Amino acid sequence: MKIVTMVLLNISLPWQLHARGTTHVSSRGEWSKKSVQQGHSPFDTRSVLSVREHGKRTRTPLVVFFNISLIFCLTFSLFLNGGNAAVSPQAEPDHQSGIQWYEWGREAFNRAQAEDKLILLDLMAVWCHACHVMDQTTYADPQVLALLQAHFIPIRVDTDQRPDLEARYRTGGWPTTSLLLPTGEILFEANSLEPEVMVELLQEAKVLYESEKEDLRKQAAQLWNRVREYAHANQSSDAVLRPAMAGQSVEMMKREFDTVNGGFRDHPKFFESDAIQMTLTYGFFENDLELINMGLTTLDKQVVLLDPVWGGFYRYAEQADWSQPHFEKMLTVQAQNLHNYVQAFHLTGNSEYKHIALRIIDYVETFLTDHQTGQFFESQDADVRAEDGKTLVSGAEYFSWETIHRKAKGIPLVDRRMYTGSNADMSGAYLHASQVLGNSELQERALKVLKRMVDERFDKKKGVAHGTINGSFMLYGELSDHIRLGQALVKAFRTTEDRQFLQDAEAIAQTSQELLQDRKGGGFFDRPPSSDNFGLLNVPTKPARENIQAVRFYLELFHLTHNDDYRSTAEQTLLSVVGTPQPLPIALIGLAADEWFRPPVHIAIVGMSEDVRTQALLLEGQQLYCPGKIIRSFDPRKGQAKWGDITFPYDGRSVAFVCTDQICLAPVFQAQKMKGSVEELIAVLKKQAAY
C-alpha cells in the first residue's frame, strides 16, 4: 500500500489543485505555465514530511504537524481563491470494523464540542480501491477502533455525495484522512494510512490537543476574524482581458506536451478533456496543425485505458505511457471522452474515433443506465467485492479477462446514485454524439433526462438539487450542478431549437445569480450561504474551474438571447477569475478567453421547412465542423427572419446566411458551397483580430 502523509506547514493555494491531471497557470500578474502533480503542486507550499511507500517510511515526530496558526491558513486561502449493476452501494461501506461513523452535521459537531474531542474525518468514495483497503485493514485494527471509540468523533463523508466538503477537505486523492478541531478546522491531513501509523497519529494527536487546546482555540478564533475582515474588504480587481490570453495558454500547453506518450504531464496520466477541446477548437480556427496533432496524438495514446471487452474508460493511469491503470469507471470520465472522440471524428472523419465513441456509449448503456428513468448511474468499482466488502478479485486481474470469465466471478459494484452534474454532462455528450453520428435515439435519451432533471430537481428559490438521500432531494444550490445543467440545456436548445430548453437554462442562470453571485467582488460562490454550516463550510469559496465554466455558460446565453446582462455577468466573472492569485487550469481559461474574443459563427437557414433544399442547407450546416457555431432556421410563413439586429431577406428560394452578430457574407443557395462561406468568414475574423 502506498501511503503519503502530507504535513500542512504553510498553505497559500491549496485545495484547487486536486490531482486531476490538469495543467494550471498562475494568474498572479503573469501567465506562467505550471503543472500539478498528484497530491503536491508547485502552486502551494505544502511540505511532505513523512512518506511511506512500498513499505519504506521516513519517521517524523507527529507533534510538528499540528501548527494551526499556519495550517488554518487553508480557510483563509479558501476565501481568497475559491479555491451490472444490480447491487446498490451501501451508505456506510465499512464492513470490517465496528466503527460507528457519524454523518457530517449537527449531531457529530455537537458531540465533539460537548465532549471536547478531536474529529477524525474520512473523506472517501464508494469506487475508491484504497478506501476499501483501509476499511479492511486500518479501520478493522483493534487498537485503531479502541482509540476512535474512546477519544475521537469519527465522521465519514462520501465525496460524490458532498462535493462542497470535498472542495474544502480533500488533499491529493482518496481517501483523505484528516484530524479536525471540534469546530472543524484542519490539524492534519493525509491520504491512506496503515494501522500502525494511524495508531501513532491518534495517540500523539490526543496528547497534543489536551496540552495545547487553549492556544489552538485562540489561534483559530484570530484567523476566523481575518476571514471576516476580508469579507468586508474592498475586493476590486485591476485585471484586464487581453486577446493574447488564449494564445498564451496554447504556448504553455505546447511546452507541457508529452511528445512520446501524448497528454500534458509526465505521470500520473489523467484525461485532459479541456486540453483536447482546446487543441481541436483553437487549432482549427488558427490553422495550427501542430496543436491539432497534439490532441489527436493524445486521443490515440490514451485509448489503452479503454476496456477492450465492455468499453468505457478507466479513471487514470499511474505511468507516463498510460500503463498501470486505476480501473474505476466514472460517468463524468465517459462523458468527457465521448465529447472528445466525437469532436475528433467530426474534424478528421477518422472512423476509429467514431468506433471508440460507440464503445463508450455501449458501456454507458449497459452498465451506467437506469432503463426505467433513463438517468445515469455515477460509477463502477474497480474490484469485485464480497457482501462484507472484502476484495475477491482485483481490477487488474478482472479486467484482463473476457466476458464469460468476468461474469462467472461477478460484476464490480455500480453506484446507482444519480447526481445532477454528471447526468447533465452525459446528456450533453449524448446530444453532441447524436448530431455528429446521426443517432436520434441518443438525442431522445438526453432530452428525456434533462426534462426530468428540471422537473424534479430545480426549484427557483432553492436552486438545483445535487442528488437524493433516502428518496429525498438534497444539497440544493451547488454552483457546479447549476452550470453543468445549464450548459446541457443550452446544448439541447441548440440541437432542437425548442425554446423551452432555453427558458429553463435562463431560469437556472437567474437563480444562480440570486443565490451564488458575488455582487461586490464578481464571480460565483460554490454554495449558498447558510446559518447551519460547520467547519470550513463557513468559508465562502469561489472555485476557479466552476467560475470559468460559468463564464462560458453566460456567454452562450448572451449569444443566444442578446441579453447584455448575461455578457456583463460573464465579463465580471472572467475578470474576477483572472484577477485572483489562484492557479487556473490552462486549457479551460484558454477556451474561455478564446470564446470571449472570438464571435461564434451564425448560420441562418431561411426557407419552407418541408422544402428539400431548406433541409439540405440545414443538414449541411449541422454537419459542418465549426466549434461553437449557432444554427437557426426560419420559416418565412411564421414572420420575419430576424436574428438579433439582422433581418434576413427571402425571395422565395431556400437560402443560408453565414454571419456573426455584426457581419454577414453573401447568401448561399447551394449546400455544397456553405463550407467555403464558413471558411471565408473565419478568415475575415482572423484578419480583423490581427489589427
DSSP string, 251-283: HHHHHH--TTT-SSSSSSB---HHHHHHHHHHH
Q: Give residue-wise pLDDT tens across range 641-658.
A: 999 889 999 999 999 999
* pLDDT of amino acid 608: 96
Identify residue 467 by its one-letter amino acid code: G
Other beta carbons less than 10 A from residue 499's beta carbon: 11
Q: Is 70 exceeded by the pLDDT of residue 243?
A: yes
Give me the sign of the Cα torsion angle 67, 72, 77, 83. Answer: positive
In a domain, 406, yes or no: yes
Q: How far apart are CA 649 and CA 647, in angstroms?
A: 7
For residue 268, give the amino acid letter. Answer: P
Domain membership of residue 53 (yes or no) is: yes
DSSP calls for 92-119: S---SS---PBPSSHHHHHHHHHHT-EE
What's the confidence (pLDDT) of residue 687?
84
Range of the domain at 402: 380-415
Of the residues 394, 415, 436, which one is the last residue of a structural domain?
Answer: 415
Q: 206, 231, 256 — which closes off a domain?
A: 231
On whether residue 315 sits in a domain, the answer given is: no
Q: Residue 197: which of 4, 362, 351, 27 has the closest Cα? A: 4
Instruction: Please give the pLDDT value at position 123.
Output: 96
Q: Which of 12-21, 443-452, 626-635 has the lowest mean pLDDT?
A: 12-21
CA distances from 410 to 241, 331, 414 (A): 54, 21, 12
Is residue 52 in a domain?
Answer: yes
Closest CA to 585 of 18, 11, 10: 18
Residue 107 lies in a domain: yes
In a domain, 593, yes or no: no
Looking at residue 235, its pLDDT comes to 62
Work out the burial of residue 72: count CB atoms within 10 Å of its CB; fewer than 13 is exposed, 13-18 middle, 19 or more buried: buried
CA 480 to chain centre: 8
Q: Pick from 231, 256, 285: which residue ends a domain?
A: 231
User: At 400, phi and psi to the nearest 5?
Assistant: -90, -5
Amino acid at the residue 690: A
Domain count, the chain: 3
Strands 176-180, 152-158: pairing is: unpaired
Pairing mode, strands 602-606 and 630-634: parallel
For position 678, what pLDDT does the model report? 96
Residue 39 has pLDDT above 70, yes or no: no
Tell me the pLDDT band of 595, cut-offs 50, 70 and 90.
very high
- Other C-beta atoms closer than 10 Å to the C-beta of 567 total 17
Q: Does residue 353 belong to any structural domain of this protein?
A: no
Q: Residue 583 — φ and ψ, nearest 5°? A: -70, 150
Give φ, ψ of 31 to 5 degrees: -100, 80
DSSP letter assigned to residue 137: T
Q: Is residue 191 part of a domain?
A: yes
The CATH number given to whatever domain includes residue 72 is 3.40.30.10
Bigger pLDDT: 220 vs 558: 558
Give the helix/strand (H/E) hosting 468: strand 463-469
